[in-house]
Amino acid sequence: MNQEELNNKLLEIKDKLTAVEQPADNRIYLACEAENAYAVNKFLFEDVPLRFVIATGIDSDDCFEVLYHYAYDETGCMITLKVFIRDRENPTIESIAPFLPGAEWIEREIHDILGIEFKNHPDMRRLILADDWPEGVYPLRKDAKGPAERPDGEPSTRPTIQTQSPARRTVPLAKPVIAVGPFHPLQEEMEFFQLTVDGEIVTDIDMRISYNHRGIEKISESLQFDQVAFLVSRVCGICSASHPLAYVQAVEELAGVKPPERALYVRTIINELERIHSHILWVGLAGHFIGYDTVFMWAWKYREPVLDLLEEITGNRNNYGNVKVGGCREDIPNELKPKILKEMDKLEKKMDMLTKAVLDDPVLHARLKGVGVLSKEDAIKYAVTGPTARGSGVAIDVRRDDPYALYGDLDWNVISQPQGDVFAKAVVRLLEVFESIKMIRQAVKRIPDGPIAVEVKEIPPGEGVGHVEAPRGETFHYVRSDGGNRPVRHKIRAPSFVNVPSFRASCIGEHIADVTITLAAVDPCYSCTERLAVVDQHSNVIHDYEALLRLSRDKTAQIRKELGTQGIKMEDL
């Protein structure tokens, strides 16, 4: 279906819409009242069908808005449905989570920060705010005060992760429980995974996030547009090029700003260097979790020259601070181009050896194939993105589907695998490294002379969307301006926010020994902290983190013994 056919398809619901705007070929804004939101969303997701990206809650003073963002990847078009909730005293809207599980978390988040009630939501527990945060205090409302201390009020009596929502529970809570987190080496942000087990089999999984909520969206409203790029680079150290780029592209869209051509080359090179170092980091850690520390050490050794290049270009190995509205802050010196090409040649040879060693190893085939399967249907319902989606046969990639920077002019391929297991996700990441090397070579050889930025004096009223293919998947930023020097609303959706909930589809029914690598397979944000315990119904600690890691490694050793091989040898590398 092309863009014209998409537009005609949307006419089928024109009687439920109050407005339709198309400011650009690849941007459509629809509007409707709250009573029609469920029907319109169901039509967009199931009948068109569109890919659900995220929703944004906004306090517009005279009403509340919920913006549902969808992508039509065949044409690269982003469709936003604006729903107006006029009753400020009792803001209510029908939940779309019953037919779209990928919306469960964002509706819980919007309720926490704005107080909008989502009728018939299956699990309206806290997500962003603490479980004992007082009811009726919503921090993102325009009239909310910024207390230095917890606001007064009666603590919430809603179910918590310890009691679990009856609507979400699938087995009796009296079963033994494995508590993974909130502080755990697999997560950069603190997240809590509660695994209910029957013997060695996981029978249920529950999740809780935001133990260290930094309030970046709220802070963004207090910063000038140019300052926000530095703020969002701190969302994730490994994606510290992706988030600022998505943000500035959203601002450039609403301001009608076009960066110079050389800036687009610089942005592309930096983002692909970041993808390489992120994917190699993941390969090393994945090897560590299943007992292949040789892979861990060699992968991280190969990653170091990539970080060195990023430091030479931007001054930093992480949190580069290079992108800004209108272009880039630092250029790539022409004298550095031969070194970049030389390092790509070296890296390609090393990654070729490592990839063959990993993908040809019979132990890894037996250990990872068929483990943690996320079906294509579940990948769509949970709105997953990046290698998590592509490893389940959902071949989406913003770089191709809605080209930005230089990607539309480069020769490269989208890598996907249909199996949906941990092995497929490993294949996708390893092969994507070679595509990134290919793109960097092209960009370095063709980079033109010229400026790297244009002057941007003011940002007019309006709204813009920026989405970028980060290493973990699509990073999404929505920015609204009232003509001042600060955003009035800035919504951020990192890929892990939609990838993590898919554990309900990929972990239930798996062995405990497989859960660690299944969790790692979506590459959630990592943490330096390491605490984990397994607790039974009598609150006795029966496992710690090292014991769970040992279960995974013991399974690898057992498979190796059954296959009669010692796995990867040093000379193979």
pLDDT of residue 17: 96
The burial class, CB within 10 Å (0-12 / 13-18 / 19+), for 15 is exposed
From residue 513, how far is each of 183, 518, 555 by CA, in Å?
A: 19, 9, 7
220 with 111, same domain? Answer: no
> For strand 19-24 and strand 27-33, is the pairing parallel, antiparallel, or unpaired?
antiparallel
22 with 104, same domain? Answer: yes
The burial class, CB within 10 Å (0-12 / 13-18 / 19+), for 147 is exposed
pLDDT of residue 129: 83
Tokens read off for 530: 């390491």
Tokens read off for 43: 């039509």
Domain boundary among 478, 497, 516: 497
pLDDT of residue 547: 67
Instruction: Let me know if residue 203 belongs to a domain.
Output: no
Q: How far apart are CA 176 and CA 181, in angstroms?
A: 16
Q: How far apart are CA 573 and CA 283, in angstroms?
A: 14
> For strand 487-493 and strand 473-481, is the pairing parallel, antiparallel, or unpaired?
antiparallel
Tokens read off for 506: 């990929």
The burial class, CB within 10 Å (0-12 / 13-18 / 19+), for 428 is buried
pTM, rounded to two decimals: 0.89
The one-letter code for the residue type at 317 is: R
Q: What is the pLDDT of residues 61-107, one digit of tens each?
A: 789 999 999 999 999 999 999 999 999 999 999 999 999 999 999 99
The one-letter code for the residue type at 424 is: A
Split the chain (573 residues) into runs of 10 and give each run's mean pLDDT.
Answer: 87 94 93 97 96 96 94 95 95 96 95 94 87 83 68 66 57 69 62 82 83 80 93 85 96 96 97 95 86 86 94 88 94 95 96 88 88 95 96 97 95 96 95 97 96 94 96 96 94 92 90 84 56 40 60 74 57 42
Instruction: Let me know if residue 48 belongs to a domain.
Output: yes
165 with 224, same domain? Answer: no
119 with 227, same domain? Answer: no
> For strand 487-493 and strand 532-535, is the pairing parallel, antiparallel, or unpaired?
unpaired
At which residue do the structure tokens 């690849």 appear? 26
231 with 325, same domain? Answer: yes
DSSP structure class, residue 73 = T
pLDDT of residue 159: 67
Domain boundary among 480, 497, 514: 497
43 with 101, same domain? Answer: yes
pLDDT of residue 184: 60
pLDDT of residue 541: 47
pLDDT of residue 569: 46
With vertex at residue 186, the alpha carbon angle to CA 183 and CA 190, rounded to the nearest 5 degrees, is: 35
Are 440 and 412 contacting, i.e. CB atoms less than 8 angstroms apart?
no
Instruction: Let me know if residue 148 belongs to a domain.
Output: no
Tokens read off for 372: 């943690």
Give the count of beta carbons closer than 10 Å to the beta carbon of residue 91.
22
103 with 224, same domain? Answer: no
Instruction: Let me know if residue 300 belongs to a domain.
Output: yes
From residue 533, how far is each of 70, 191, 202, 408, 545 by CA, in Å?
A: 39, 14, 16, 48, 6
Q: How far apart are CA 317 and CA 307, in angstroms?
A: 5
Q: How far apart are CA 461 and CA 102, in angstroms?
A: 31
pLDDT of residue 335: 94
CATH number at residue 63: 3.30.460.80
DSSP structure class, residue 265 = H
Instruction: Let me know if residue 544 belongs to a domain.
Output: no
User: What is the residue range of 74's domain?
Assistant: 3-135+157-169
119 with 259, same domain? Answer: no
Q: Is 430 helix (H, G, I), strand (E, B) or coil?
A: helix
Instruction: Let me know if residue 205 belongs to a domain.
Output: no
Number of folded domains that form the chain:
2
163 with 250, same domain? Answer: no
Q: What is the pLDDT of residues 334-358, one digit of tens each?
A: 999 999 999 999 999 999 998 988 8
Instruction: Let me know if residue 531 belongs to a domain.
Output: no
351 with 485, same domain? Answer: yes
227 with 350, same domain? Answer: yes
Instruction: Let me know if residue 37 belongs to a domain.
Output: yes
129 with 247, same domain? Answer: no
Are 115 and 141 contacting, i.e. CB atoms less than 8 angstroms apart?
yes
pLDDT of residue 237: 77
CATH number at residue 337: 1.10.645.10
